[in-house]
Amino acid sequence: MDQFGETGGLASDAEGLQVAIVVSAKRLRRLKPWEQAIREIDTDVPIVRVADVPRTAPTEYESVAETLRKRLPPDVNVLVDLQGVWAAAYALDVNVPNVLIFDGAGTLLAVHSGMFKKSYVDALTADLTDPPSVDLSAAGT
């Protein structure tokens, strides 16, 4: 759920690419440069923002949601990941932003990790405008 109690995530039947940006809740500001770069490349690609909540101390959803509501503009929705599902599923270091690019069916096509640098724009542009294809034959399907 996001900070407003709405469920969210990737669309299971999207027609085009989808992007998820996953970062620690304490470092949410670091996703902004990535999101700006993505918007300059494609203004229409859906972006899902995910705040990974550190599991070092017990944390309740409502306290995280309240903090996000206070600190973020009302039009910025961020999913609250209390269990680290995204980080575990994709082996992410959430201390830095992770940009995950998926096709419409939810297949992961590319990952960009780290603090945004202008030198990353070419690779990001390539992945958003001419995404790598997924070889399903290698997966035994």
Joined tokens for residue 4 = 């407003």
Q: What is the identity of the amino acid at 90?
A: Y
Joined tokens for residue 139 = 């997966």
One digit per residue, the tens of pLDDT, for the chain of length 141 reads: 999 999 999 987 778 999 999 999 999 999 999 999 999 999 999 999 999 998 877 789 999 999 999 999 999 999 999 999 999 999 999 999 999 999 988 899 999 999 999 999 999 999 999 877 655 444 433
Instruction: State the Cα–Cα distance between residues 24 and 54, nearest whole angstrom.
Output: 7
Secondary structure of residue 80 in the 3-state scheme: strand
Secondary structure of residue 6 in the 3-state scheme: coil
pTM of the model: 0.89
Beta strands in the chain (DSSP E): 18-24, 47-52, 79-81, 98-102, 108-113
